[in-house]
Copies of this chain bind each other. A is one copy, B any other.
Amino acid sequence: MIVGKNIHKSFGDLEVLKGVDLHVKPQEVVVLVGVSGSGKSTLLRCFNFLEMINSGEITIDGHTINPKKEDLAKIRAEVGMVFQHFNLFPHKSVLENVIEAPITVKKMKKEEAKKLGMNLLRKVGLEDKADVYPSKLSGGQKQRVAIARSLAMEPKVMLFDEPTSALDPELVGEVLQVMKQLAEEGMTMVVVTHEMKFAKEVADRIIMIDQGTIIESADPKNFFENPQNERTKQFIQLVE
């Protein structure tokens, strides 16, 4: 579904991604782990063209992207992204947040968009908050709205960048629940998270990034019980 080949990315002198290969199959759920600064967020942002890669190749749904030639907006619409800090639009109500992109980008009729929006809000359990402004929501509710907002564009793959790490611990569950459901429905997902329980239960594959390269890639059972790389072992010890 989404494929990165030999991705290199530097910020000035700092080489953050040093040739990453990542092949995510349709309906697969990949969890990315790694210590702070290892390049997890950068990789996700490259997949969404919020950062431009220096070399390598990104293919989405069989189509290799040439960022210089194509309409990036169109490509981004196919890849949903959920951020650590939600990034809801504060000047728009919950429903308006969700229907903004369908109306502006897809030129969907307002009525139709609203119906779609309400369906998605129902899906994340926030139907009753449609007319509320984001500032009135808890962190967990905000993140669920953000997920609904992304889904409104019917993306082919969803990227999650530490979606629960800005949440109070008792609010983490409700967001993970929505993500789990999404995975069960067959959404292709790449998730950066420190929630190891979620990784164990939901991931098809766990990938460990260290200093800009993939050093381990295995199904959850093997990843935790039989890590190959020394750094992976250390990491597992730290977070367990």
Using a CB–CB cutoff of 8 Å, the interface residues on chain A facing chain B are 35-36, 168-173, 194, 235, 238-239
Complex CA gap A238/B172 in Å reads 8
* Whole-angstrom distance between the Cβ of A78 and the nearest chain B Cβ: 31
Copies of this chain per assembly: 2
A-side interface mostly: helix
Which of chain B's residues have a CB closer than 8 A to the CB of A235? 170
Which of chain B's residues have a CB closer than 8 A to the CB of A172? 238
Which of chain B's residues have a CB closer than 8 A to the CB of A168? 35-36
Contact of A173 among B170, B173, B194, B238 (CB under 8 A): B238
Sampled A-B contacts (13; CB under 8 Å): A35-B168, A35-B170, A36-B168, A36-B170, A36-B171, A169-B194, A169-B238, A169-B239, A170-B235, A170-B238, A170-B239, A172-B238, A173-B238
Query: Given known contacts A169-B238, A170-B239, A172-B238, what 10 new A-B pairs fall within 8 Å (CB)?
Result: A35-B168, A35-B170, A36-B168, A36-B170, A36-B171, A169-B194, A169-B239, A170-B235, A170-B238, A173-B238
* Whole-angstrom distance between the Cβ of A223 and the nearest chain B Cβ: 16
Which of chain B's residues have a CB closer than 8 A to the CB of A169? 194, 238-239
Complex CA gap A173/B235 in Å reads 11
Closest to A165 in B: B169
Interface centre among A171, A238, A239 (most CB of B within 10 A): A238
* Whole-angstrom distance between the Cβ of A123 and the nearest chain B Cβ: 22
Interface centre among A36, A169, A173, A235 (most CB of B within 10 A): A169
Which of chain B's residues have a CB closer than 8 A to the CB of A173? 238
Complex CA gap A35/B173 in Å reads 13
Which of chain B's residues have a CB closer than 8 A to the CB of A170? 35-36, 235, 238-239
* Whole-angstrom distance between the Cβ of A129 and the nearest chain B Cβ: 19
Which of chain B's residues have a CB closer than 8 A to the CB of A238? 169-170, 172-173
Closest to A238 in B: B170
* Whole-angstrom distance between the Cβ of A174 and the nearest chain B Cβ: 9
Closest to A234 in B: B170
* Whole-angstrom distance between the Cβ of A234 and the nearest chain B Cβ: 9
* Whole-angstrom distance between the Cβ of A42 and the nearest chain B Cβ: 16
* Whole-angstrom distance between the Cβ of A215 and the nearest chain B Cβ: 15
